[in-house]
Amino acid sequence: MLKAFGVFLCNQLLGEPTMHVIRMRYPWQKRRAGDTDWERIEVPEPNAAEPDRAERDVPGTGDSDGPSEPLDESTNEYRRRFNRPTGLDASVRVLLCIEKWHGAIMRATVNGQDVSADGDRINADITRFLEDHNEILITLADRIGEPARLSGEVSLVICQR
C-alpha cells in the first residue's frame, strides 16, 4: 500500500514517476516531556503503555547524546537520523511522507528546516534540505484521551523527473 501511495504522490502531485520508497521504521528515538534520555522505538509505534524505564537508552552508550533540556508537559519528541540516499542528482526529488499520528503535531523539521502538514498527513519535498547526514525531528502533543504517538508509516519517496 505504501508503494501505491508513493506512486500516487509522485505521479499525481508532482507529475513524476516513483523511483524508490524507503521506509523509515527503525531506529527512531523518542523522549517524553520531562525526560532527558531518548529511548529506541520502531515506527509505526503501537498503541501501548509507556515503556518500562529499564528499556530506555542510557547516556554514554552511543544511543543518546546525553542529557539535554526536558520538553514541555504532555509532548513526545521523535528523532530519526539517516544518511543521504545514494544516486541522487538534479533530476530526483525526495519527499518526506508521514502518514498518520495521534495527538497534535506541533513541529516537524528536517535538518532544522520546518516542513508543514498537509491536512492529516505530511508530504513534503525535502530535496533542498538534504545533507550527507540528516535528522528528522517531530514534536507531537497529547490531546485529551489521546496520547501522542507516531501511528503511521514514515517514509522517503524518491521521485525521478
- pLDDT per residue over 4-22, tens digit each? 554 555 655 556 666 789 9
User: Which is more confidently placed, 126 or 53?
Assistant: 126
Q: Are 71 and 36 in contact (CB under 8 A)?
A: no
Q: Where are the domains of the chain?
A: 2-160
* Fold held by 2-160: Jelly Rolls (2.60.120)
The pTM score is 0.76
SS (H, E, C) 55-68: HCCCCCCCCCCCCC
Whether residue 135 has pLDDT greater than 80: yes
